[in-house]
């Protein structure tokens, strides 16, 4: 089954316009965070979500802007030291930020991701604190479910099995852990190599029924300038570098949603076409891994 296109609002310059293109191309998810666009991403999404009630939305807890830090300190949920750090996963802060997310989005988020918990000194303790707060929100109907969005966390700070264990301790067998999000691209190729062998976070998440969101598939827009004509030819003759890069991600086992942050209609249309194609042969993916290394 081909993965879905989704709008990722990190570094997205014009969120409302990007959302229009995303919806036109059949995207069913928008991913955001309270600290994106200097703290304005969620409020800029509110009219989009109101006008498209079938759109699903994921947001995050963890990072915050100086303005959010000031509000949180005034609310008594951040200490001065926590406010200065720019990131917090304490139970009281996560519960406060989760309620704030709902107010800014104008609706209950379908998933709230714990944002880069590997940043904490004791990542699994931080995840436990956050999951405890988010489990309470899920049971009260204030969020649909929760997950972890990470950049390097699956490199040793925690595993999918660890997340399941923590969620079970926080919420029992009927916990609301729903998804993971991680970067996968021709630069961040290790998850592809692992998935091809049936290992790693994508395979583990798929095995236990968790949703998977892939961030930075074009490595922040840098990949089209990095992919050579020879590599694009190896991946899929006749495609552009950006299309070739997306072709690999769309063909990776376990990838369910690919986050694209472009504000250009032609980029969405091209991505829609690429994701609708059949997966590349395993032989091609193994050749790409051999050429680039994992």
Q: Which of the four pLDDT bands, split at 50, 70 and 90, describes residue 114?
A: very high
Please tell me whether residue 213 adopts helix, strand or coil conformation.
strand
> Which two structure tokens, joined as six digits, stand for 4?
């879905």
Provide the CA 134 distance to its chain's centre, in angstroms.
17
Please state, rounded to an integer, the average pLDDT across all residues of the chain.
96
Q: Per-residue pLDDT tens for 52-63?
A: 999 999 999 999
- Alpha carbon distance 246, 95 (integer Å): 36
**CA–CA gap between residue 237 and residue 240 (Å, rounded):** 9
Q: What is the pLDDT of residues 33-78, one digit of tens each?
A: 999 999 999 999 999 999 999 999 999 999 999 999 999 999 999 9
Residue 167 pLDDT: 98
Let me know: does 170 contact 133? Beta carbons within 8 Å.
Answer: no
Provide the CATH number for the domain formed by 4-292 in this structure: 3.20.20.100
In tens, the pLDDT along 190-220 reads 999 999 999 999 999 999 999 999 999 999 8
Tokens of 152: 């390097």
| Residue ranges covered by each domain of the chain | 4-292
């Amino acid at each position: 089954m081909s993965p879905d296109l989704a709008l990722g609002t990190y570094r997205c310059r014009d969120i409302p316009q990007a959302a229009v293109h995303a919806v036109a191309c059949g995207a069913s998810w928008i991913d955001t965070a309270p600290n994106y666009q200097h703290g304005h991403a969620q409020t800029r999404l509110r009219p989009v979500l109101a006008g498209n009630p079938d759109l699903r939305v994921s947001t995050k807890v963890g990072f915050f802007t100086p303005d959010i830090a000031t509000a949180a300190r005034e609310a008594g949920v951040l200490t001065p030291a926590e406010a200065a750090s720019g990131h917090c996963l304490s139970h009281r802060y996560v519960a406060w930020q989760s309620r704030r997310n709902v107010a800014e989005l104008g609706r209950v988020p379908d998933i709230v991701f714990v944002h880069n918990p590997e940043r904490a000194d004791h990542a699994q303790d931080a995840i436990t604190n956050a999951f405890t707060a988010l489990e309470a929100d899920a049971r009260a109907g204030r969020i649909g479910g929760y997950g972890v969005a990470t950049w390097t966390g699956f490199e040793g700070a925690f595993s999918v099995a660890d997340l399941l264990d923590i969620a079970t301790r926080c919420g029992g067998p009927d916990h609301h852990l729903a998804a993971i999000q991680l970067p996968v691209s021709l630069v961040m190729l290790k998850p592809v190599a692992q998935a091809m062998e049936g290992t790693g976070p994508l395979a583990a998440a798929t095995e236990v029924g968790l949703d998977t969101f892939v961030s930075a598939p074009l490595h922040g827009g840098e990949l089209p300038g990095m992919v050579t004509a020879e590599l694009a030819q190896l991946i899929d003759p006749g495609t552009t570098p950006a299309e070739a890069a997306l072709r690999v991600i769309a063909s990776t086992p376990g990838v369910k949603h690919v986050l694209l942050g472009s504000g250009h209609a032609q980029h969405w249309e091209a991505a829609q076409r690429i994701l609708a194609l059949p997966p590349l042969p395993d032989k091609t993916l193994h050749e790409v891994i051999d050429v680039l290394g994992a």
